[in-house]
Structure 1
Amino acid sequence: MAPRRPVDVSSLRAAPRMCHRSAQVMAALWKGCGRLLARRPGAAQALTAGVLMGVGDVMAQQLVERQGLRGHHGTRTVKMMAIGFCFVGPVVGSWYKILDRLVPGTSKVVAVKKMVLDQGAFAPCFLGCFLTITGAMNGLSVEENFSKIQQDYVDALLTNYSIWPPVQIANFYFVPLQHRLAVVQCVAIIWNCYLSWKANRV
């Protein structure tokens, strides 16, 4: 029987200090994000959307498509991040502001009304634009892009409806306006993974 290794007491003593430092770093990052949201909400929302679109694409390539690190398409990840920065962040952030003006208030009934407008009017248009932009950035011709949208759109929209209505009701009811896009994008990491796989699938 192999002898047991002695317990490193110094490492055990250091663990609480490391946890405390990690918590301090996370708290500082959270405060920094809060300050950026307060000073430049549009920039913060675009940055958040871009980063999380990139995370979603990495997950799609590595966990769904099993590309491996050597087979990872960095250009594709950069393109998805660019779509997040330039399209998803500004468009969705602006939509939430418009929605707050169209249906003011924070009651449960208001949250349901906002969800119906969001999922009934905005989501179908947004998804169509997203697939179109992704196809164009991937170099598809107009005919190829239209064919791909016909193939993917209905399935993507039905998947959207299986995920987003309850999330958006909670988002509109509990979350302040300036944090809604960030909450949506955090929940949407899996959704972004799906969108990236769907939009880039040959």
Structure 2
Amino acid sequence: MRYKGMLTLQNAFGKHLLFTNTWTSGVLMAIGDICEQEIEFQRKILSTRYDWGRIGRMFLTGLLFGPVHHYFYAWMDKRIPHRSVKFVTQKILLDQIIMSPVCIVLFFYSMGALEGRPSKETTIEMKEKFIPIYVVDWSIWPPTQFINFYYLPVKYQVLYINAVTMVYNVYLSFMKHKNMPLEIIES
């Protein structure tokens, strides 16, 4: 039985890696939002404990991020295969300068579309929240990515990032949903 479980795990991080990365990204994005909603409920910001529609939107947005990260990390590893500090620093800079802004924009526009909001409204929201999110991004991701790129094999990099992202998603969910009209939050 233990052997069968190991085969399943090897398949998840082998031939089914894209599927695994996609689903873990969606699930962990949803868990991050559940944690943020629990905080909001405890602080009496939300009148009900969980908005399952909001959790679903975060899950779907997470599903979108899985393949993006999967292919980006695979591309980076082929382009910069070495694990020296110099090359890891190059990967971190690529991640922060390319992937981070892309992911922030992708997050806001995918959430806005799933909420049925006009793109103009999403653009205004993103302009207001982009810089604070990007600053926090720079404080969290370079050390996280150093561990990721220096120590972990590529097949575990998205899982590791998803695990750290779950905590980061609490912040991202907070930033996304702060200062929203009550009727949007409760829908």
Alignment correspondent of 1:10 = none
Shift of 1:154: 0.7
Task: Write out per-residue CA displacement over residues 39-85 of structure 1, whole angstroms, 9 at most, x where no aligned residue.
Answer: 21100100110110110010010024536794310111011111111
Query: Does structure 2 conserve the Cα–Cα contact (< 8 Å) formed by 1:46 and 1:90?
Result: yes
Amino acid in the other structure paired with 1:169: F
**What does 1:162-173 correspond to in 2, within 5 Å?**
162-173=139-150
Match for residue 35 of structure 2?
59
CA contact (8 A) 2:36 2:173 kept: yes
Count of residue correspondences: 177
| Distance in 2 (alpha carbons) for counterparts of 1:182 and 1:28 | 21
**CA separation in 2, counterparts of 1:172 and 1:65?**
37
The residue type paired with residue 114 of structure 2 is M
One of 83, 86, 110 as aligned partner of 2:61: 83
Partner of 1:74: 52
Name whichever of 31-40 and 134-143 sits farther off: 31-40
- In the alignment, structure 1 segments of 5+ residues that lack a partner are 1-23
Q: Which SS does the other structure have where 2:138 is aligned?
A: helix
Aligned to 2:83: 106
Partner SS for 1:139: coil
Counterpart Cα distance in 1 of 2:30 and 2:5: 19
> What does residue 160 of structure 1 align with?
137
* 1:60–1:196 Cα contact (<8 Å) kept: yes
Paired position in structure 2 for 1:48: 24
Matched letter for residue 168 of structure 1: Q
Task: Provide TM-score, normalisation by structure 1.
Answer: 0.80
- Which residue matches 1:8? none
Are the structure 2 counterparts of residues 65 and 139 from structure 1 closer, same or farther at C-alpha, using a change threshold of 3 Å? farther
Structure-2 change in CA distance of 1:28 and 1:79 (3 Å): farther
Taking only aligned residues, the RMSD between alpha carbons, in angstroms, comes to: 2.2
- Hey, what's the Cα distance between the residues in 1 that align with 2:38 and 2:123? 28
Normalising by the residue count of structure 2, what TM-score does the alignment of the two structures yield? 0.86
Question: C-alpha separation between the residues in 2 aligned to 1:114 and 1:30?
Answer: 31
Tell me how far apart the structure 1 counterparts of residues 132 and 93 of structure 2 sit (CA, whole Å). 20
Maintained 8 Å contact 1:33/1:44 = no
Identical positions, percent: 24
CA distance in 2, matches of 1:91, 1:142: 21
Please identify the structure whose Cα radius of gyration is greater: 1
Q: Does 1:97 align with 2:74?
A: yes
SS at match of 1:38: coil
CA distance in 2, matches of 1:89, 1:68: 29
Change (3 A) 1:68 1:124: closer
